[in-house]
Structure 1
Amino acid sequence: MLFDHLAGLVSSGQIADAISRAVRNGELTQGAQLPSIRNLAETIGVSPGTVALAYRSLRERGVVTTAHGRRARIADRPALPRPLRVPLPPGVQDLSTSSPAPDLLPDIAAHLTPNLYEPLLYDGPPVEPHLAEIMRDQFATDGIDGVLTAVNGALDGMERILSTWLRPGDAVLVEDPQWVSSLALFSVLGLDIVPVAVDDEGMIPARLREALASRRCSALVLTPRAQNPSGAALSAERAEILRGEIAAYPDLLVIEDDHAGLIAGAPARTVTTGRRAWAVIRSMSKALGPDLRVAIMASDADTADRVQGRLLIGPGWVSHFSQRLVSAVLADPEARSAVGHAERTYTLRREALIDALATRGIASRGRSGLNVLVPAPEEAPLAAFLLSRGWAVRSGEAFRLGSRPFLRVSIATLDSERAPELADAFAEAMRPGDRRAI
Structure 2
Amino acid sequence: MAAQYSIEGTTAKGIAASVERAVTEGGLAPGDALPPVRRLADELGVSPGTVATAYKELRQRGLVVTRGRGGTVVAEAPSVASRRPPRVPAGLVDLAGGHPDPAFLPELRPPAPVRPVYGSHRAAPRLGALEELTRAWFERDGVPSEHVTFAHGALDCVARLLSTELRPGDAVAVEDPGFHHLLDLVPALGLRMVPVAVDGEGLVPEALRAALRAGVRAVVCSPRGQCPTGAWFTRARRDELVAVLGEFPAVLVIEDDHNADIAGAPAHTLAATGELERWAQVRTGSKHLGVDLRWAGLAGDAVTLARHDGQMLMTSGWVSHVLQETAAGLLRDPSVAALVAAGEAAYTVRRATLLDGLARHGIDAVGSSGLNVWVPVRDESAVVNGLRTRGWWVAAGARFRIAAPTAVRITTAALGVEAAGRLAADFAEVLGESQATYGG
Q: 1:435 is matched with which residue?
A: 436
User: What is the CA distance between 1:416 and its match in structure 2?
Assistant: 2.2
Q: Quick one: distance in 2 between partners of 1:226 and 1:141?
A: 18
| 1:107 partner SS | coil
Cα distance change on mapping 1:388 and 1:60 into 2, 3 Å: farther
Counterpart residue number, 1:327: 328
Paired residues of 1:29 and 1:74 also in contact (CA < 8 A): no
**Would you say how many aligned residue pairs link Structure 1 and Structure 2?**
390
Match in the other structure for 2:112: 114
Give the drift of 1:65: 4.3
Partner in structure 1 of residue 46 of structure 2: none
What's 1:242 paired with?
241
Structure 1 position 71, deviation (Å) = 6.8
1:232 partner amino acid: A
Three-state SS of the structure 1 residue aligned to 2:381 is helix
1:369 aligns to 2:374 (yes or no): no
Query: How far is the alpha carbon of 1:104 from its aligned partner?
Result: 1.3
| SS state at 2:198 partner | strand
Whether contact under 8 Å (1:151, 1:297) holds in the other structure is yes
Q: Separation in 2 of the partners of 1:344 and 1:437?
A: 40
**Partner residue of 1:262?**
261
Q: Is the 8 A contact 1:104 1:339 kept in 2?
A: yes
Alpha-carbon distance in 1 for matches of 2:243, 2:70: 45
Secondary structure at the residue paired with 1:125?
coil
Q: 1:249 and 1:293, CA in 2 relative to 1: closer, same or farther beyond 3 A? A: same
Q: What's the CA shift string for 1:71-117, capped at 9, x where partnerless?
A: 75999x83131514324132x100010111111102323xx453676
Could you tell me whether the CA contact under 8 Å between 1:428 and 1:437 is conserved in 2? no
**CA 1:159 to 1:104, structure 2 compared with 1: closer, same or farther past 3 Å?**
same
Which residue in 2 is equivalent to 1:423?
424
Contact 1:95 1:411 in 2 (8 A): yes
Report the counterpart of residue 225 of structure 1 in structure 2.
224
Note the 1:323-362 alignment, pairs <5 A. Answer: 323-362=324-363
Q: Residue 380 and residue 432 in structure 1: after superposition, are their counterparts in 2 closer, same or farther (change >3 A)?
A: closer
| Residue pair 2:88, 2:393 contacting (<8 A) in 1 also | no
| Conserved? CA contact 1:30–1:74, under 8 Å | no
Query: Equivalences for 1:88-127 in 2 at 5 Å?
Result: 88-90=89-91, 92-109=92-109, 112-114=110-112, 119=117, 121-127=120-126
Equivalent position SS for 1:424: helix
Partner of 1:168: 168
Structure 1: which amino acid aligns with 2:142?
Answer: G
Which stretches of structure 1, 4 residues or more, deviate above 6 A after TM superposition?
Answer: 32-36, 58-61, 67-71
1:128-147 mapped onto 2 (5 Å cutoff)? 128-146=127-145, 147=147
Whether the 8 Å CA contact 1:178–1:400 is kept in 2: the answer is yes
TM-score by structure 1 length?
0.81
Q: State the Cα distance separating 1:431 from its structure 2 match.
A: 2.6
Distance 1:69 1:150, change over 3 A: closer
SS in 2 for 1:194: strand
**Within 5 A, what are the aligned runs for 1:407-422?**
407-422=408-423
**Could you list the runs of 5+ residues in structure 2 that have no partner in the other structure?**
1-11, 17-34, 39-54
Per-residue deviation, 1:132: 1.2
Counterpart of 2:193 in structure 1 is 193
CA gap of 1:303–1:251, structure 2 versus 1, over 3 A, is: same
Please report how far the alpha carbon of residue 70 of structure 1 lies from its aligned counterpart in structure 2 after TM superposition.
Answer: 9.6
CA RMSD of aligned residues (A): 3.2
- Give how far 1:127 is off: 2.4
Distance 1:398 1:271 in 2: 27
Alpha-carbon distance in structure 1 between the residues aligned to 2:86 and 2:70: 35
Amino acid at match of 1:114: A
Q: Could you say if the C-alpha distance between residues 65 and 85 of structure 1 is closer, same or farther in structure 2, counting changes exceeding 3 Å? A: closer
Equivalent residue letter for 2:345: R
Partner of 1:406: 407
1:70/1:88 CA distance change after superposition, 3 Å: closer
Q: Report the counterpart of residue 47 of structure 1 in structure 2.
A: none
Q: Any gaps of 5 or more consecutive residues in structure 1?
A: 1-27, 37-54
How far apart in 1 are the matches of 2:279 and 2:205? 19
Provide the rounded CA distance (Å) in 1 between the counterparts of 2:270 and 2:405: 26
Shift of 1:150: 0.6
Letter in 2 for 1:79: V
Q: Which amino acid aligns with 1:388?
A: T
Contact kept in structure 1, 2:88 and 2:94, CA below 8 Å = no
CA offsets 1:321-348 (integer angstroms, 9 cap, x no match): 1111111111111110001011111111
